[in-house]
Chains A and B, each alone.
Chain A
């Protein structure tokens, strides 16, 4: 009668091949890095500077005609992509035109944009410019710095928090899992060349938050079991903890994924990249909290004697009464 994703009691062995899992993860991280190093990210104008113009027209989009219209202006690298989306009506033909940052201008000048718009209007009379965004090279450089800083700061603060609430081995495990997730997400973006803009940084930080959420729940159970079963082998204890929380891990991942998939399909193309990053991050984050964070914990070992200061250590808030 009840929908049960996992049986009441499970005893999967998550660490039978822990070296293999850790190896796969390490390999994926290397691949992610390599892809990033070789291909680089398809940075949006937030990070690279330049202009994007989103056009809409009832006529079918002829990328070649657009290109021919803009080419005489000599604006350097111009990318034109047609956008398809199930939420568009039959007469909505949307294209995205990206113009590289022009050398001298702070932001692209109004004349340049006006010239492009005029050229396109001549080619397609009913074209509309639904959004025009332009970022100068000065700001885009700063945005990169801020983004890197934000992600590093998030990871660092997590490291400190977990260290305070648990032990350093837990903190290292959690952070390794976070870095794993962030690198894999960046890797996917560079491999598939999906546009990487400011919103994706927000998605990265959300992934950091979510993956952590998952990891902390497992660790919390590990801590509890460490007090309960003082003689149990660490490997068995970790296995037990993960099995006990497995049902919750899957439940939460599925409800979150359900919500995100709805947004991915129905939320329109503007935020699709952003939602894709989060969906990917949640899948990777769920995997990493079990196979990376816990495995590293097993590898590092952990202090077993939690009796001395169990006076609510790490559970200071445990007696908050509702």
Chain B
């Protein structure tokens, strides 16, 4: 006979109630969102009367997680950036050269004189005058390598050294490159995160994607180019001694010097010492400010070691110019007027207020270890998102009503049972989405509508089966029982296969498509649950109360 244990009934009802309770905040989206924001603000800056009132819009004992709205619904900017991991190799190799030079000088008797040869940026080529000493030279340079830890545990070194004729070629080893890449991307990710946090937008998504990419999604920002202005700049700040100033981009520079253009004076080039006195890494603070002439500028402060280096240099070089260099452009090249001991200073240039504010943010957050290439950028206006939400709402309601009406017309009372289950189903779907912090996108709304259409499938299978069984079976109770029993394998097979495609879509897709996969997948779970548990419970409870001699499905 039709029987469901009491504990199972309680469990089913509890699951539904919990799901609906979790879904409830979404029905009051704006109110809950404001309340959540106010609570978050209170944690940071303490309670004010206004914040407490806003927070009180939604009772604190109620669940307050909301479904995240994707960028296509909320509006905002999306960027996919690739980190130029190769940039770091160059710096590594440059740093390697003095070390190699010193080591080889000690072996002058065997290897002769050494000279650095022009080479691609990710390797060093050194010519030695006594090729017969090559074996010893290689040995010495190899000795500079540091062992690195790898997963395989093999004793690999961070550099690879080989001889080519009378030249020694030094490159980073593959293992070291991989490790460096990983470090670079993680650093870049951290810097991007810090910069975006500094600007203070809400709920940004900053994720690593694949080996060397970073996905950045910031809701509510005006455009992707605005976002790029914040994260696109490397912001490597250095203070270099100036050797000379001229107008020739091709001016000859001694080894250890370089020629870089001025930022806002067309055609002016500075020759500076390549090794900086102090770099932006030693900054502890930077704030937008105004100089004594009332022009926008940036105030900065060094940490202790930076302050000492800066102080020593200014003491020893009074009267000499030094260059403030940002990303290989000279912002300004003031002449040192006096000893600056305190470790703080001011950067002036032809800034606008906005530029000086941005520069301060960039300097505070730190420099990117490598440049970024933007592979994909999308800006979605908030109005378009709102239009999509509105259209989606209307479509969902109409779809819902159409399906409810159709089910009722086809199956009568049983159709109503299925309809109740369908409503619970959509509630559960939203509850689950809120619980796991899933993101709702426009295709995700399509996924919900599709779920509304397909969710009744399991019930249809069962009801059709009950109809069939009624023709042959012995009485309505037996028919209902057989209907559920025999339809089960078809329901499971059909839904497992659809679920598999949802999983593949989730794994392969990104952004909006992934949003679709989430609602489709969760929708399958909830619809199977409601069909085989909820409608069954409804049917059984009705049956127990009425005990009908005949039923019509």
Q: Which of A139, A256, A258 contacts B375 (CB 8 A)?
A: A139
Q: Within 8 Å CB of B496, what residues of A?
A: 161
> Is A242 an interface position by the 8 A CB rule?
no
A267 touches B392 (CB 8 A): yes
> Is B86 an interface position by the 8 A CB rule?
no
Q: Which of B392, B494, B552 contacts A212 (CB 8 A)?
A: B494
B446 touches A201 (CB 8 A): no
> Is A33 an interface position by the 8 A CB rule?
no
Q: Within 8 Å CB of B464, what residues of A?
A: 245, 247-248, 251
Q: How far is the CA of A71 from the CA of B403 in the complex (A)?
A: 49
Please count how many residues in chain A sit with their CB below 8 Å of the partner chain's CB atoms.
83
> Is A82 an interface position by the 8 A CB rule?
no
Known A-B contacts A161-B497, A252-B456, A263-B395; A271 and B442 likewise in contact (beta carbons under 8 Å): yes
Q: How far is the CA of A244 from the CA of B492 in the complex (A)?
A: 19
> Is A134 an interface position by the 8 A CB rule?
yes
Contact with B along A262-293 (1 / 0, CB 8 A): 11011110110011001000000000000000
Q: Looking at the complex, which of B29-37, B172-180, B324-332, B379-387 is the stretch in contact with chain A?
A: B379-387
Contact with B along A99-131 (1 / 0, CB 8 A): 000000011001001100000000000001111
> Is A206 an interface position by the 8 A CB rule?
yes
B453 touches A258 (CB 8 A): yes
Q: Within 8 Å CB of A315, what residues of B?
A: 489
For A266, the closest partner residue in chain B by CB is B395
> Is B82 an interface position by the 8 A CB rule?
yes
Q: Within 8 Å CB of B493, what residues of A?
A: 165, 216-217, 220
Q: Within 8 Å CB of B400, what residues of A?
A: 259
Known A-B contacts A4-B410, A202-B505, A209-B497; A107 and B376 likewise in contact (beta carbons under 8 Å): yes
Interface residues of B in 481-520 (CB under 8 A from A): 484-486, 488-490, 492-498, 500-502, 504-505, 508-509, 512-513, 516-517, 520
> Is A318 an interface position by the 8 A CB rule?
yes
Q: Which of B471, B489, B513 contacts A199 (CB 8 A)?
A: B513
B536 touches A212 (CB 8 A): no
B384 touches A131 (CB 8 A): yes
> Is A36 an interface position by the 8 A CB rule?
no
B504 touches A157 (CB 8 A): yes
Q: How far is the CA of A131 from the CA of B73 in the complex (A)?
A: 12
Q: Within 8 Å CB of B199, what residues of A?
A: none
For B224, the closest partner residue in chain A by CB is A132
Interface residues of A in 200-224 (CB under 8 A from B): 201-202, 205-206, 208-210, 212-214, 216-217, 220-221, 224
Q: How far is the CA of A107 from the CA of B225 in the complex (A)?
A: 12
Q: Looking at the complex, which of A16-24, A72-80, A145-153, A188-196 is the stretch in contact with chain B?
A: A145-153
Q: Within 8 Å CB of A248, what residues of B?
A: 457, 460-461, 464
Q: How far is the CA of A245 from the CA of B410 in the complex (A)?
A: 16
For A224, the closest partner residue in chain B by CB is B486
Q: Within 8 Å CB of A254, what residues of B?
A: 406
> Is A28 an interface position by the 8 A CB rule?
no
A205 touches B392 (CB 8 A): no
> Is A167 an interface position by the 8 A CB rule?
no
Q: Within 8 Å CB of B80, what residues of A?
A: 139
> Is A54 an interface position by the 8 A CB rule?
yes
Minimum distance in angstroms from A19 CB to a CB of chain B = 28
Contact with B along A307-320 (1 / 0, CB 8 A): 00000001101101
B461 touches A318 (CB 8 A): no
Minimum distance in angstroms from A98 CB to a CB of chain B = 14
For B515, the closest partner residue in chain A by CB is A202
> Is B399 an interface position by the 8 A CB rule?
yes
Interface residues of B in 187-229 (CB under 8 A from A): 223-225, 228
Contact with B along A225-249 (1 / 0, CB 8 A): 0000000000000000000110110
A322 touches B398 (CB 8 A): no
Known A-B contacts A3-B410, A106-B82, A251-B464; A129 and B512 likewise in contact (beta carbons under 8 Å): no
Which DSSP category, helix, strand, loop or mixed, fits chain B's interface?
helix
> Is A87 an interface position by the 8 A CB rule?
yes
Minimum distance in angstroms from B514 CB to a CB of chain A = 9
Minimum distance in angstroms from B413 CB to a CB of chain A = 11
Q: How far is the CA of A149 from the CA of B508 in the complex (A)?
A: 8
Known A-B contacts A4-B410, A106-B82; A158 and B500 likewise in contact (beta carbons under 8 Å): yes
Q: Which of B8, B224, B443 contacts A274 (CB 8 A)?
A: B443
Q: How far is the CA of A148 from the CA of B182 in the complex (A)?
A: 29
For B226, the closest partner residue in chain A by CB is A110
B398 touches A262 (CB 8 A): yes
B490 touches A212 (CB 8 A): no
Q: How far is the CA of A150 from the CA of B513 in the complex (A)?
A: 12
B376 touches A136 (CB 8 A): yes
Q: Within 8 Å CB of B225, what residues of A?
A: 110, 113-114
Q: How far is the CA of A87 from the CA of B497 in the complex (A)?
A: 35
Q: Which of A150, A165, A208, A268 contacts B388 (CB 8 A)?
A: A268
B395 touches A128 (CB 8 A): no
Known A-B contacts A2-B412, A216-B497, A256-B454; A270 and B388 likewise in contact (beta carbons under 8 Å): yes
B488 touches A150 (CB 8 A): no
Known A-B contacts A3-B409, A146-B508, A210-B454; A130 and B383 likewise in contact (beta carbons under 8 Å): yes
Q: Within 8 Å CB of B552, what residues of A?
A: 2
Q: How far is the CA of A270 from the CA of B407 in the complex (A)?
A: 30
Minimum distance in angstroms from B463 CB to a CB of chain A = 9
Minimum distance in angstroms from A141 CB to a CB of chain B = 11
Known A-B contacts A206-B501, A213-B494; A130 and B384 likewise in contact (beta carbons under 8 Å): yes
Q: Which of B82, B378, B450, B509 contacts A256 (CB 8 A)?
A: B450
> Is B99 an interface position by the 8 A CB rule?
no
For B505, the closest partner residue in chain A by CB is A205
Q: Within 8 Å CB of B494, what residues of A?
A: 212-214, 216-217, 220
A322 touches B375 (CB 8 A): no
Q: How far is the CA of A274 from the CA of B515 in the complex (A)?
A: 14
9 other A-B residue contacts (CB within 8 Å) besides A259-B399, A322-B484: A2-B552, A113-B225, A129-B381, A138-B375, A150-B505, A153-B508, A154-B504, A206-B516, A270-B384
A positions within 8 Å CB-CB of B = 1-5, 8, 54, 56, 87, 106-107, 110, 113-114, 128-136, 138-139, 146-147, 149-150, 153-154, 157-158, 161-162, 165, 198-199, 201-202, 205-206, 208-210, 212-214, 216-217, 220-221, 224, 244-245, 247-248, 251-252, 254-260, 262-263, 265-268, 270-271, 274-275, 278, 314-315, 317-318, 320, 322
- 28 residue pairs bridging A and B, Cβ less than 8 Å apart: A2-B409, A2-B552, A8-B471, A87-B387, A106-B374, A129-B381, A130-B384, A132-B224, A132-B378, A135-B375, A150-B505, A161-B497, A206-B501, A209-B500, A210-B454, A210-B498, A213-B454, A214-B494, A217-B493, A251-B464, A254-B406, A257-B453, A258-B402, A259-B453, A260-B449, A265-B395, A271-B445, A322-B536
The 7 A-B residue pairs whose C-beta atoms are closest, nearest first, are: A259-B453, A256-B453, A268-B391, A259-B399, A209-B498, A262-B399, A150-B508
B positions within 8 Å CB-CB of A = 4, 8, 72, 80, 82, 223-225, 228, 373-381, 383-384, 387-388, 391-392, 394-396, 398-400, 402-403, 406-407, 409-412, 442-443, 445-446, 449-450, 452-454, 456-457, 460-461, 464, 467-468, 471, 484-486, 488-490, 492-498, 500-502, 504-505, 508-509, 512-513, 516-517, 520, 532-533, 536, 552
